[in-house]
Amino acid sequence: MKARDVKTNEDAILIINERNLTHVKVGIFDIDGVMRGKYMSKEKFISSLKSGFAFCDVVLGWDSKDQPYDNVSFTGWHTGYPDAPVRIIPESCRDIPFEDNMLLFMGEFTQKGAEICPRSLLKRVIKRSEEMGFDAFAALEYEFFMFEETPESVREKGFKNLKPLTPDWFGYSVLRNTVHADLYKQILDMSEKMDFPIEGLHTETGPGVLEAAIAVDGAESAADKGALFKTFMKVLAQRNGLMATFMAKWSTDCPGQSGHIHVSLRHRDGSGSAFYDPNKQHCMSKIQRHFLAGQQRLMPEFLCMIAPTINSYTRLIPGFWAPTDATWGVENRTTALRVIPGSEKSQRVEYRLGSADGNPYLTLSAALASGLYGIMNEWEPEAQVKGNSYDQEHPAYLKLATTLWDAAQRLKASKAARELFGDAFVDHFAASREWEEREYRKHVSDWEMDRYFEII
């Protein structure tokens, strides 16, 4: 049996027995989109398939540096960090190419943990879509920089003077991808074997930067594929003596790294695309216009789900291929939302605000839920932006926050977010972003030292 043929608990048991495995790997994605997990014995895994297993709930209550939040109610020192129930997802089974015959299974929190769990949140948004009569599809694409560094060397250098895989700016370079063909082949092979197939892989503009476009799939599977790609791209790089970063912006001299989200809806009754109407301008159906309007209007409120780190906001500046207002245009890459007219099959919206550091489950939840809310309320978008969006004035309510703290306040105050995502998630996630901002405020930057140490 092949790993991606596993659909049921019985299939999972069968493939483990066929491979004579004593252990399998189980992973869960936390609030920041980091995969946490462990090896589990065959006996424990088989038992857990039916009844679930317990995982310390601290992985929903700490940051990316394993520091516990001091401002959340779900878990903390006040609860003693108990175990929380997790279910194994048998159909998530994948081969791990680097480990002889080893299998990976994903899990997700249940019961109270499901209110916070990013994957469970996306499933609730998808359920809403289905109840409205739509199947949601998505494709994620990521830019990431590659360095000739190791986890040890970057720390020895203090994360300064890092050596990119390739020099200079050279987008869409056949020279670069041919010289490094062995690495590209490893990336493409891994993506096929682990079922996050890449439709396009090329150099982007900047030293050592690549862009990977993952093939379209149903929304839940698309998020799984994005999260797994980010995780195992870093694994593959380090196994080659390299490092990959998905920071939104690692250098003031280079463009930021995007995590664009392509979204479309299809009617569940089999009548085709909900976005495509050949009789309308740009082939935009009424449903697509409402969907677009929801994305536009709620983007400022959902921003911290899309731009979740301090570093995210260094990317959102004019002229660096990242939007600063919730604007839309047709085939316009200076706007936050890019309508892509096409056929019945390809008509879609590209949510260009997304950056590479986003948690795929949360970014897709925000992009999809906001669009659905626009349909529910029959909203209409603002006028289409033509030309360079950066050079134009836009309505004040479309202005995006410039700090993570301000973005978190917008999420906390959003009635739409609470209706779509639930109070438990909104309060927890907003608090986690406030924590991130407070941690940053403890830090004295090189810029401050250079500017103030002698002169002030």
> In the chain, where are the structural domains located?
3-116, 126-407
For 248, which DSSP code? S
Determine how many CB atoms are found less than 10 A away from the CB of residue 261. 29
**Cβ atoms 242, 127 nearer than 8 A:** no
Convert 153-166 to b/e letters by CB count within 10 Å (16 or more is b). Answer: eeeeeeeeebebbb
**141 in helix, strand or coil?**
strand
Residue with tokens 């001091």: 70
What φ, ψ does residue 430 adopt, rounded to 5°?
A: -60, -40
Q: What is the pTM of this model?
A: 0.96
pLDDT band at 68 (very low <50, low <70, confident <90, very high): very high
What architecture is domain 126-407?
2-Layer Sandwich (3.30)
pLDDT class for 390, splitting at 50, 70, 90?
confident
Is residue 321 scored above 80 in pLDDT?
no
Helices in 108-180 by DSSP H: which ranges? 118-131, 151-156, 174-179
Give the residue among 351, 315, 347, 321 at the shortest CA–CA distance from 336. Answer: 351
Name residues whose C-beta falls within 8 Å of residue 54's C-beta, 6 or more positions apart in sequence. 83, 84, 85, 86
| Higher pLDDT pick, 3 / 389 | 3
Evaluate whether 61 touches 72 at the Cβ level (below 8 Å). yes
Whole-angstrom CA distances from 114 to 79, 107, 119 are: 17, 11, 8
Check residue 421 and give its pLDDT. Answer: 98
Please give the Cα distance from 410 to 303 (Å, whole number). Answer: 8
State the pLDDT at residue 319.
Answer: 63
The closest of 410, 413, 420, 424 to 304, measured between CA atoms, is: 410
pLDDT of residue 219: 98
Homologous superfamily, domain 3-116 = Glutamine synthetase, N-terminal domain (3.10.20.70)
Q: Which residues have CB under 8 Å from 98's CB, separation 6+? A: 235, 236, 239
CA distance 317 to 319: 7
The token pair that represents 71 in the structure block: 């401002």
Question: What SS3 class is residue 12?
Answer: helix
Rounded to whole angstroms, the Cα distance separating 456 from 448 reads 11
Q: Exposure of 185 by Cβ count < 10 A (0-12 exposed, 13-18 middle, 19+ buried)?
A: exposed
Work out the mean pLDDT of the chain and round it to a whole number.
96
Could you tell me the sign of the dihedral formed by the alpha carbons of 56, 59, 60, 65, in that order?
positive
CB neighbour list of residue 50: distance below 8 Å, 6 or more residues apart: 9
pLDDT tens string 20-44: 999 999 999 999 999 999 999 999 9
Bridge partners of residue 89, in order along the sequence: 106
Angle (CA) 45 51 55, round 5°? 65
Nearest to 48 by CA among 128, 112, 110: 110
Paired sense of beta strands 217-218 and 83-95, if any: unpaired
Q: Are 216 and 138 in contact (CB under 8 A)?
A: yes
**Most distant CA atoms of the chain, gap in Å:** 70
Assign 320 a pLDDT band (cuts: 50, 70, 90). low
Each residue's pLDDT tens digit, 180-232: 999 999 999 999 999 999 999 999 999 999 999 999 999 999 999 999 999 99
Task: Give the pLDDT score at 252.
Answer: 87
